[in-house]
Homo-oligomer: A and B are copies of this chain.
């Protein structure tokens, strides 16, 4: 029996390695998935994307969304599928106009004053998201038995930064300014997003999600006090709100770029795992985070574009540092459109050899 066969047998004996790792088990072969694994680098995705036309239309077409969710599972046998959707479906469902324009990303009718909050309608917003739940149900039916299904949402701070800024911005200036100038009104927006996120995530579980990930992509620029107020505490409330109803569903937090504040985040929010970004030292994550939660990460998506020996060395470095604790292999951010699909395949070979 080769090492390869031995490992395969052990993996197959257990059900869903991804869930095992989230329970704190240390697996010989870590489970692996990749942020934006369903995306523009895959020709089969581009074909469906073309069929769907508008990006939001793809998110809201259960058959097509399920199809693109499953594409990378078929191609690569990742240990988890993540439902194809977008973090901005929540503002869209709350009644804020959201459009995805080619080449410039999402554009929203910005809300920058208290009065703007009244244009949002949290009643019945879940109805608007029914297509997402139907897509989850479709994926759950079709997934291989060893593959886990991840539901997700954007964290309140990150979603708010788009709602207030009207688009993505590297410094989230408008949202940060509003939070300083009128903490109460901005807090009402965050509260609304916390409540909406809890309801949305619960329904995703009921539709078949076995794990949740909450993406706080813009957590990294905030001063610590603001981070506590707008990232850490809202996430704590979300975890509590979801776990009050579904205590056994693991939740992964991703406070991207928050550096040494990851420690407080892990200690305070009650997440089962954290996704670490590309800039974090794996050794530091091992020493300061992995003793508390499962760590997921953190290959640079750009090294996957480059490929070759540089990519292999980066993969081995992460495996060597984090495999001794509860660990899920992933990227530090999403795959980019220029990624050669064969480089993704090579990473899976390196991990599962």
Contact = CB atoms under 8 A, between A and B. Distances in A.
A348 interface: no
Interface string A267-287: 000000000001111101000
A170 interface: yes
Copies in the complex: 2
A302 interface: yes
Nearest to A311: B180
A282 B224 CA distance: 9
A251 B298 CA distance: 33
A223 B227 CA distance: 22
A317 B177 contact: no
A222 B305 CA distance: 15
A50 interface: no
A280 B221 CA distance: 9
Nearest to A175: B302
Interface string A305-323: 1100011001001000000
A180 B310 contact: yes
B305 A177 contact: yes
A180 B279 contact: no
Contacts of A227: 279
B221 A310 contact: no
A180 B220 contact: no
A304 to B, nearest CB: 10
A171 to B, nearest CB: 8
Contacts of A284: 260
B223 A180 contact: no
A302 B176 contact: yes
A69 interface: no
A281 B260 contact: yes
Nearest to A226: B300
Q: In the complex, which range does the number of interface residues on chain A fall in?
A: 35 or more
B260 A222 contact: no
B173 A220 contact: no
A257 interface: yes
A94 B347 CA distance: 40
B223 A300 contact: yes
A160 to B, nearest CB: 15
A303 interface: yes
A284 B170 CA distance: 24
Contact of A258 (B177, B279, B298): B279
Given A180-B305, A181-B306, A279-B223, A260 B260 contact: yes
A173 B279 contact: no
A349 interface: no
Given A173-B336, A257-B259, 9 more contacts: A180-B310, A183-B310, A221-B278, A223-B278, A226-B300, A257-B257, A260-B280, A260-B284, A261-B281
10 contacts: A176-B302, A177-B306, A180-B306, A222-B278, A223-B298, A225-B314, A257-B259, A259-B260, A259-B279, A259-B280
**7 closest A-B pairs by CB:** A259-B259, A180-B306, A170-B170, A224-B281, A223-B300, A176-B302, A181-B306
